[in-house]
C-alpha cells in the first residue's frame, strides 16, 4: 500500500459504524441498481460481472486494499454498472454521497485525491478483461484441438476396418506364399532350402557396419568378389556350414542367395504388415482410452523390429547396437516399435545433409533401479536450441541451413505413448549429436 493510499484510508475509511461483514456468496451491488457508496475492501475477494441475453461476463475482481463503486460514485449517476458478489467471507467499509458532500464543502476535493486510484482501477479492469480474453482464446484452441483429435479418431475408426482387412489379406497371403515356396524348394531345389528358411525366419539382422566387417572377412577368406561377400554377410547363416565349393562357384552361390533374399523379403513383409496394423490402432488410440498390452514384451526385440522396417534408409548409415538383456515388461509391442521407429526416422532425416562423411546412429539399452533406459543417438546437425522446448507439440516444423526438421505428429505420439507407460522421454542436442533418452518403469 502506498503512503498516499494509506493516508486516504486512515482519513476516510476508518469509521467502524460504516464497516460491514459480508458472507461468501452475498451480493452487495446489482447491475443497474442505485448505488451512492464507495467501498473499500479491508479483507476478502469480490467478482463483478454483467449479464446479457442470459450469458454472464466477468468484468473485474477486487480484493484487499482495492475499491468498489468508483464509477457510480464519482460519475454522479449513482447506478451500478455491474453485479458484485463476494467470492469469500469479506470485510468492507464505505463512504456515501452525503459524506462526500461534507468533504467537498470543506474544499478537500475528494475526486482529485482519488483520481490516481480511478485511473489505476480502469487499467486493472482493462488488464483483467484482456487476461479473460486470452484464457478464452486458449480454451477455445484446446477445444478445437480436442475436436480435431476426436475427428481424427473418428476418421481413423472409419477407415481402420478397411485398412485392417487389406493388411490381413497381405499378411495371410504372404504367409501362404512363403510356405508354398518352402514346399516347392523341398521337392525341387532342396539345396537352396536352408538359405530360403534362414531369410524367412531371421531377416536382415545385422547392422551396416557388421555387414561390412563380415563381408571383408568373407572376401579375404574365400576370394570371392565384393558383391557376393556382402550378400553372404547379410545372412545369419554360419558361413562355415556352406560347402566351400558352393561359395566359390559364383553361379551357384548367386542362385542360393537369391532364395535367401526371397525369404528375407517375406520376413520384412510380415513385420511391415504387423506394424501397419499397429500404426492404425495407435492413430485411432488418440481418441481412445485403452489399448491391449501383454506382459511378455522384450524391449530389445521391438527395437530390432523397428530397425528391420527401416532397413532400406539405414543401409547407408552405420548403426551400432549395444543392447543388454532386459526383463520383459507389460506393453503393446506395436506402440514400442512406433516409438523407436519415429525417433530413428527423425535421426535419419536430420542426417540427410550431414557434413560428416559417415552417418552414425547408436542405440543402447540398459536396466537399473527398476527402469529400462533406451538411448538413441545420431551425429546429425542437432535440433535448433529454440525448437527444443517445442518438439513435442503437434505440427512443429522448421528449417535450419536447408535441413527440415519435420517432426509433425511423430514425436507428439511418441511422448503420449511413453507417458502412458508412466515413463519419461528427454532429448539432449548440440551440433553433431542428438540423443533421445527414454525411461520405462518395470512394474
**102 and 201 share one domain:** no
- 117, part of any domain: no
- 44, part of any domain: yes
**263 and 365 share one domain:** no
**267 and 367 share one domain:** no
> What's the CATH number where 361 sits?
3.30.565.10
- Cα–Cα distances in angstroms (integers) from residue 268 to residues 59, 175, 342, in the given order: 63, 11, 18
> Side by side, which strands form the sheet with 55-63?
27-29, 83-86, 45-52, 55-63
- 334, part of any domain: yes
Average pLDDT over residues 380-392: 80
Last residue of a domain, one of 75, 108, 141: 108
Given this model, what pLDDT does residue 154 score?
Answer: 62
Last residue of a domain, one of 108, 126, 141: 108
- What integer best gives the mean pLDDT of the chain? 81
Tell me: pLDDT of 146 over 60: no
Structural domain count, the chain: 3
Tell me: pLDDT of 148 over 50: yes
pTM for this entry: 0.44
Given this model, what pLDDT does residue 408 score?
Answer: 44
- 144, part of any domain: no
Per-residue pLDDT reduced to its tens digit, 63-96: 888 888 887 887 778 888 889 999 999 999 998 8
**67 and 11 share one domain:** yes
**163 and 306 share one domain:** no
Q: Which is more confidently placed, 425 or 391?
A: 425
| Cell numbers placing 347 | 535421426
CA distance 39 to 73: 10
Given this model, what pLDDT does residue 19 score?
Answer: 92
CA distance 442 to 368: 10
Tell me: pLDDT of 404 over 50: no
Average pLDDT over residues 395-422: 64
- 114, part of any domain: no
Given this model, what pLDDT does residue 289 score?
Answer: 46
**281 and 319 share one domain:** no
Q: Which is more confidently placed, 262 or 338?
A: 262
Average pLDDT over residues 215-224: 85
Query: Binning pLDDT at 50, 70 and 90, where does residue 119 land?
Result: low
- 374, part of any domain: yes
Per-residue pLDDT reduced to its tens digit, 308-360: 778 778 877 888 999 999 999 999 887 888 899 889 988 888 887 655 568 88
Query: Could you tell me the residue range of the domain that residue 323 belongs to?
Result: 296-443
* SS3 (DSSP) at 261: helix
**97 and 176 share one domain:** no
Given this model, what pLDDT does residue 93 score?
Answer: 92
Query: Binning pLDDT at 50, 70 and 90, where does residue 399 land?
Result: very low
Q: Which is more confidently placed, 218 or 362?
A: 362
Tell me: pLDDT of 49 over 80: yes
Please give the DSSP secondary-structure letter assigned to residue 380.
S
Per-residue pLDDT reduced to its tens digit, 266-287: 988 888 887 777 666 655 544 4
Given this model, what pLDDT does residue 87 score?
Answer: 92
**301 and 443 share one domain:** yes
| Cell numbers placing 121 | 482501477
Last residue of a domain, one of 108, 139, 168: 108
Per-residue pLDDT reduced to its tens digit, 160-210: 666 777 788 888 888 899 899 999 998 998 888 989 999 898 888 777 778
CA distance 37 to 236: 91
Given this model, what pLDDT does residue 426 score?
Answer: 92
**77 and 166 share one domain:** no
- 54, part of any domain: yes
34: CB partners within 8 A, 6+ apart = 78, 79, 80
CA distance 165 to 378: 37
9: CB partners within 8 A, 6+ apart = 1, 40
CA distance 402 to 379: 17
Tell me: pLDDT of 226 over 60: yes
Query: Binning pLDDT at 50, 70 and 90, where does residue 403 land?
Result: very low
- 331, part of any domain: yes
**308 and 264 share one domain:** no
Given this model, what pLDDT does residue 358 score?
Answer: 80
Given this model, what pLDDT does residue 398 score?
Answer: 46
**94 and 181 share one domain:** no
Given this model, what pLDDT does residue 435 score?
Answer: 94
Query: Binning pLDDT at 50, 70 and 90, where does residue 61 land?
Result: confident
Given this model, what pLDDT does residue 308 score?
Answer: 73
CA distance 121 to 129: 12
What's the Rg (C-alpha) of the chain?
A: 36
Average pLDDT over residues 291-295: 76
Evaluate whether 41 touches 66 at the Cβ level (below 8 Å). Answer: yes
Q: Is 274 exposed, middle or buried (0-12, 13-18, 19+ CB in 10 A)?
A: middle
Q: Is 315 exposed, middle or buried (0-12, 13-18, 19+ CB in 10 A)?
A: exposed
Backbone angles phi, psi at 84, to 5 degrees: -120, 125
Tell me: pLDDT of 428 over 50: yes
Evaluate whether 215 touches 226 at the Cβ level (below 8 Å). Answer: yes
Q: How does DSSP assign 56-105, residue by residue?
A: EEEEEEEETT-EE-HHHHHHS--B-SSEEEESS-EEEEEEEHHHHHHHHH
Backbone angles phi, psi at 391, to 5 degrees: -65, -15
**224 and 265 share one domain:** yes
Amino acid at each position: 500500500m502506498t503512503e498516499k493510499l494509506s493516508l486516504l484510508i486512515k482519513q476516510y475509511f476508518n469509521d467502524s459504524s460504516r464497516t460491514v461483514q459480508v458472507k461468501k456468496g452475498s451480493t452487495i451491488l446489482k447491475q443497474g441498481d442505485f448505488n451512492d457508496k464507495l467501498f473499500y475492501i479491508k479483507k476478502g475477494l469480490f467478482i463483478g460481472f454483467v449479464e446479457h441475453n442470459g450469458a454472464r461476463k466477468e468484468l473485474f475482481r477486487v480484493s484487499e486494499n482495492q475499491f468498489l463503486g468508483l464509477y457510480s460514485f464519482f460519475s454522479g449517476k449513482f447506478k451500478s454498472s455491474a453485479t458484485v458478489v463476494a467470492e469469500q467471507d469479506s470485510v468492507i467499509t464505505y463512504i456515501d454521497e452525503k459524506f462526500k458532500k461534507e468533504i467537498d464543502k470543506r474544499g478537500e476535493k475528494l475526486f482529485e485525491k482519488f483520481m490516481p486510484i480511478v485511473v489505476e482501477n480502469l487499467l486493472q479492469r482493462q488488464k483483467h478483461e484482456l487476461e479473460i480474453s486470452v484464457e478464452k482464446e486458449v480454451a477455445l484452441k484446446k477445444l478445437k484441438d480436442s475436436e480435431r483429435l476426436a475427428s481424427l479418431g473418428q476418421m481413423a475408426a472409419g477407415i481402420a476396418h478397411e485398412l485392417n482387412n487389406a493388411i490381413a489379406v497381405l499378411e495371410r497371403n504372404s504367409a501362404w506364399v512363403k510356405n508354398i515356396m518352402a514346399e516347392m524348394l523341398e521337392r525341387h531345389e532342396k539345396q537352396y532350402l536352408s538359405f530360403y528358411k534362414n531369410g524367412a525366419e531371421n531377416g536382415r539382422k545385422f547392422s551396416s557396419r557388421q555387414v561390412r566387417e563380415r563381408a571383408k572377412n568373407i572376401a579375404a577368406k574365400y576370394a570371392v568378389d565384393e558383391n557376393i561377400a556382402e550378400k553372404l554377410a547379410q545372412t545369419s547363416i554360419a558361413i562355415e556350414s556352406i560347402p566351400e565349393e558352393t561359395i566359390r562357384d559364383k553361379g551357384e552361390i548367386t542362385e542360393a542367395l537369391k532364395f535367401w533374399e526371397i525369404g528375407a523379403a517375406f520376413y520384412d513383409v510380415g513385420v511391415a504388415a504387423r506394424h501397419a496394423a499397429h500404426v492404425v490402432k495407435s492413430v485411432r488410440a488418440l481418441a481412445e482410452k485403452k489399448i491391449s498390452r501383454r506382459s511378455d514384451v522384450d524391449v530389445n526385440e521391438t527395437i530390432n523390429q523397428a530397425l528391420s522396417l527401416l532397413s532400406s534408409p539405414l543401409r547407408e548409415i552405420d548403426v551400432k547396437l549395444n543392447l543388454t538383456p532386459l526383463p520383459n515388461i507389460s506393453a503393446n509391442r506395436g506402440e514400442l516399435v512406433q516409438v523407436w521407429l519415429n525417433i530413428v526416422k527423425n535421426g535419419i532425416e536430420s542426417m540427410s545433409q550431414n557434413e560428416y562423411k559417415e552417418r552414425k546412429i547408436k542405440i543402447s539399452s540398459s536396466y537399473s533401479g527398476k527402469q529400462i533406459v533406451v538411448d538413441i543417438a545420431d551425429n546429425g546437425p542437432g535440433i535448433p536450441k529454440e525448437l527444443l522446448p517445442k518438439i513435442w507439440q503437434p505440427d512443429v516444423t522448421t528449417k535450419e541451413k536447408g535441413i527440415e526438421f519435420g517432426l509433425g505428429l511423430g514425436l507428439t505420439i511418441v511422448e503420449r505413448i511413453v507417458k502412458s507407460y508412466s515413463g519419461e522421454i528427454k532429448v539432449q542436442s548440440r551440433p553433431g549429436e542428438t540423443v533421445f533418452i527414454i525411461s520405462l518403469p518395470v512394474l
